[in-house]
Amino acid sequence: MTLLLQLLAILRALHWSHWTLHWKVKGDPFYGDHLMYQRLYEAVVEEIDTLAEKIVGMYGSEAIHNLSVMADSHRFIAEHVRVVGGDEFACALSMEEHLQRALKTAYDELKASGELSLGMDDYLMATASAHETALYLLRQRRAKMASAKTAAYGDPYWMTAKYPGKDHKGNPFKKGDRVFYYPRTKTILTGPEAEQASRNFDAARFDEGY
Ligand SMILES: [Fe+2]
């Protein structure tokens, strides 16, 4: 039951978070992103409802505590923000990836304990499949963002600083530090921001099938 309640909290967190992004997106292509997040949060409503009704059907209405589900959703979002940082798009992607792992865990453990009904089996499979589509949409979007950035800034790469200096935010770095460098604009990133940009660049290249 705990795993299913966690799943419920994750779905409600995704609904909350994708809906917020639907309002907050800006830039190009604003309208496409606005509609993509709408599609994502709207689809989750039915999944939340079905799961909650199944939980009540299996364990009774006392199983669902309003505030504890909300607290778990809050913890889930806060943890992703803490790990991923302020990049809301990367956060949405990492939450969707987390959901896939949670669905797999719930499936495996319910099956192992003999609690997996045919209906729950079907529900978990269908939800995983729908969210693979969400992942596909988000990854395609990320690939487009990264290729636009690469076109504007040139392919970035890691290098060792030959001289001390400051990155594009004014943070100092020392001679010999590893920095992430965009050759066309001579932009230098350091620290966690550089690590995140490098990961995004690698992931986007992977998505594009280089
Ligand atoms: Fe709207």
pLDDT tens-place string over residues 72-113: 999 999 999 998 877 888 999 999 999 999 999 999 999 999
Residue 152 has pLDDT above 70, yes or no: no
Give the CA dihedral 45, 87, 95, 38, nearest 10 degrees: 20
The answer to whether the CB of 104 falls within 8 A of the CB of 16 is no
Length of the chain: 210
pLDDT in tens, 30-48: 899 999 999 999 999 999 9
pTM of the full predicted structure?
0.74
Residue 40: what pLDDT? 96
Who's near 57: CB < 8 A, 6+ residues apart? none
For ligand 1, the distance from its centroid to the CA atom of residue 23, given in whole angstroms, is 7
Mean pLDDT for 37-62 is 96
Picking from 202, 25, 29, 14, the residue whose alpha carbon sits closest to that of residue 93 is 14
Picking from 73, 79, 102, the residue whose alpha carbon sits closest to that of residue 15 is 73
Residue 204 has pLDDT above 80, yes or no: no
For ligand 1, the distance from its centroid to the CA atom of residue 150, given in whole angstroms, is 31
For ligand 1, the distance from its centroid to the CA atom of residue 19, given in whole angstroms, is 8
For ligand 1, the distance from its centroid to the CA atom of residue 125, given in whole angstroms, is 29
Considering only CA atoms, give the Rg of the chain: 21
For ligand 1, the distance from its centroid to the CA atom of residue 88, given in whole angstroms, is 18
The answer to whether the CB of 5 falls within 8 A of the CB of 62 is no
Between CA 3 and CA 112 the distance in angstroms is 13
Task: List domains and CATH numbers for the chain.
Answer: 2-152 (1.20.1260.10), 154-208 (no CATH)
Q: How confident is the model at residue 143 (pLDDT cuts 50, 70, 90)?
A: confident
- Which of 37-46, 57-66, 93-102, 151-160 bottoms out in mean pLDDT, i.e. has the lowest? 151-160
Residue type at 202 in one-letter notation: D
For ligand 1, the distance from its centroid to the CA atom of residue 93, given in whole angstroms, is 20
Query: Distance of CA 210 to CAs 15, 68, 183, Å?
Result: 33, 44, 20
For ligand 1, the distance from its centroid to the CA atom of residue 26, given in whole angstroms, is 13
Percent of the chain with pLDDT over 70: 95
Mapping DSSP to helix (H, G, I), strand (E, B) and coil, where does residue 172 land? strand
For ligand 1, the distance from its centroid to the CA atom of residue 44, given in whole angstroms, is 15
Residue type at 22 in one-letter notation: H
For ligand 1, the distance from its centroid to the CA atom of residue 38, given in whole angstroms, is 7
For ligand 1, the distance from its centroid to the CA atom of residue 187, given in whole angstroms, is 36
Residue 206 has pLDDT above 80, yes or no: no
- Parallel/antiparallel/unpaired status of strands 165-166 and 172-173: antiparallel
For ligand 1, the distance from its centroid to the CA atom of residue 16, given in whole angstroms, is 13
The sign one gets for the Cα dihedral 143, 200, 19, 106 is positive
Calculate the average pLDDT of the chain: 91
Residue 53: what pLDDT? 96
For ligand 1, the distance from its centroid to the CA atom of residue 52, given in whole angstroms, is 25
For ligand 1, the distance from its centroid to the CA atom of residue 47, given in whole angstroms, is 20
